[in-house]
Amino acid sequence: GIDSANMFGFWDWVGGRYSLWSAIGLSICLSIGFENFEQLLDGAHYMDNHFRSTPFEKNVRF
């Protein structure tokens, strides 16, 4: 196994779809490159703002 001193912390309260915003995101960043990871973060930020500020009937999830 891997010594826990060499692991990033990962909390058990972080749900699956949110895990990519935790330390798990490092592996994604290393895989797709930092520039692409920044684009992923920018897109997520845009969608967060959209869901918060757009009326329900005009929200893309509706």
| Domain containing residue 21 | 4-58
Q: How many domains does the chain have?
A: 1
State the Cα–Cα distance between residues 2 and 13, nearest whole angstrom: 22
Count H helices, E strands: the chain? 2, 0
pLDDT of residue 11: 73
pLDDT class of 16 with cuts at 50, 70, 90: low
pLDDT of residue 38: 95
pLDDT class of 50 with cuts at 50, 70, 90: very high
Question: Is 15's pLDDT higher than 90?
Answer: no
Angle at 56 between CA 51 and CA 58, to 5 degrees: 90
Question: Per residue in 18-38, pLDDT tens?
Answer: 677 777 788 899 999 999 999
Dihedral through CA 7, CA 11, CA 14, CA 15, nearest 10? Answer: 80
